[in-house]
């Protein structure tokens, strides 16, 4: 399908969701342009993960639409969305501890190529899958450790491996839910540097609570409060926005207040 260049990589239109009487998404209109490095921030319970869950199809919105490169994906299953290029990582570790990084990513490449169940029948092309996996791991600075079992990798490397598995699906849009969760703060900037340097044809939306990281690596910031977008803009505008300051200084949360 030919896609107009002006079409956002991912967009939500009038997205609404209630849990009982609690409105967790209220008329959410978000546009993620191609190549974006956007952050989704907000206090605990603002509805960030719920929004990502609706984008990926884990949760159905009560109303509204989700568009991937202009095409309506609201009714598609999570698997169908991954096949179309909308891929996420989770806050929790979902890795196989005893496989090496290279084995895990090779399996993910084979899965994308439809060879996962019978890779042994495809030995000639299996080498190509290993090469592709190795190249992905190199791009994430994991090549040196790619033959070590996953459980022996540093936690920051394990989080990068999660991203490597997502890259093996050849995503157009990557949704990263706290990709540095649990990583020592001294390592999280390195992890975000890798994310910022992903190829330009991958659009990224990440949830992150560390405001130093958000202001350093996001090109735009979407602030969600009480299930609604409070404000969206570039880091300098967001850091000096009095409404954002009030939300962060006036309520409990587990990140630092925006600086600026």
Ligand X SMILES: Nc1ncnc2c1ncn2[C@@H]1O[C@H](COP(=O)(O)OP(=O)(O)OP(=O)(O)O)[C@@H](O)[C@H]1O
Check: CB of residue 14 under 8 Å from CB of residue 224: no
Which segment (8-16, 19-27, 193-201, 212-220) binds ligand X by CB under 6 A? Answer: 19-27
Q: Which residue among 46, 133, 164, 174 contacts ligand X (CB under 6 A)?
A: 46
Please report whether residue 50 would count as binding ligand X according to CB under 6 A: yes
How many chain residues are in contact with ligand X, going by CB under 6 A?
Answer: 11
Q: Which residue among 9, 11, 42, 168 contacts ligand X (CB under 6 A)?
A: 42
CA atoms of 174 and 253, how far apart (whole Å): 25
Please report whether residue 61 would count as binding ligand X according to CB under 6 A: no
Nearer to ligand X, 11 or 46 (CB): 46
Please report whether residue 225 would count as binding ligand X according to CB under 6 A: no
Nearer to ligand X, 59 or 137 (CB): 59
Q: Which residue among 34, 48, 81, 159 contacts ligand X (CB under 6 A)?
A: 48
Structure tokens belonging to residue 212: 């130093």
* Distance of alpha carbon 34 from the chain centroid: 14
Which segment (40-48, 70-78, 182-190, 243-251) binds ligand X by CB under 6 A? Answer: 40-48
Nearer to ligand X, 24 or 183 (CB): 24
Please report whether residue 24 would count as binding ligand X according to CB under 6 A: yes
Please report whether residue 88 would count as binding ligand X according to CB under 6 A: no
Three-class secondary structure of residue 113 per DSSP: coil
Helical ranges in 168-256 per DSSP H: 185-196, 211-217, 235-239, 242-250
Query: If we measure between CA atoms, which residue out of 158, 166, 154 comes closest to residue 101?
Result: 158
CA atoms of 77 and 87, how far apart (whole Å): 12
Q: Which residue among 35, 45, 149, 233 contacts ligand X (CB under 6 A)?
A: 45
Please report whether residue 78 would count as binding ligand X according to CB under 6 A: no
Query: If we measure between CA atoms, which residue out of 55, 149, 51, 139 comes closest to residue 98?
Result: 149
Structure tokens belonging to residue 107: 């399996």
Residue 85 main-chain phi, psi, to 5 deg: 110, 15
Residues that bind ligand X (CB under 6 A): 19, 22, 24, 42, 44-50
């Amino acid at each position: 399908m030919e896609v107009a260049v002006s079409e956002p990589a991912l967009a939500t239109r009038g997205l609404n969701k209630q849990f009982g009487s609690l409105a967790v998404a209220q008329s959410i209109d978000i546009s993620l342009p191609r190549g974006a490095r956007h952050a989704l921030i907000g206090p605990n319970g603002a509805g960030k993960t719920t929004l990502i869950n609706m984008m990926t199809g884990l949760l159905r919105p009560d109303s509204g639409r989700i568009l991937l490169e202009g095409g309506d994906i609201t009714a598609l299953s999570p698997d169908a969305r991954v096949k179309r290029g909308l891929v996420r990582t989770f806050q929790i570790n979902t890795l196989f501890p005893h496989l090496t990084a290279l084995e895990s990513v090779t399996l993910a490449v084979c899965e994308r190529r439809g060879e996962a169940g019978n890779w042994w029948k495809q030995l000639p092309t299996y080498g190509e899958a290993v090469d592709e996996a190795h190249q992905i791991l190199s791009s994430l600075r994991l090549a040196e450790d790619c033959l070590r079992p996953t459980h022996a990798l540093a936690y920051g490397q394990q989080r990068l491996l999660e991203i490597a598995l997502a890259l093996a699906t050849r995503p157009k849009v990557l949704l990263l839910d706290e990709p540095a969760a649990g990583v020592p703060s001294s390592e999280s900037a390195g992890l975000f540097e890798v994310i910022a340097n992903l190829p330009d044809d991958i659009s990224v939306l990440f949830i992150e609570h560390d405001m130093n990281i958000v202001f350093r690596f996001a090109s735009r910031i979407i602030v969600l409060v009480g299930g609604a977008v409070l404000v969206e803009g570039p880091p300098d505008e967001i850091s000096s926005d009095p409404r954002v300051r009030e939300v962060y200084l006036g309520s409990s949360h587990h990140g630092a207040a925006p600086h600026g």
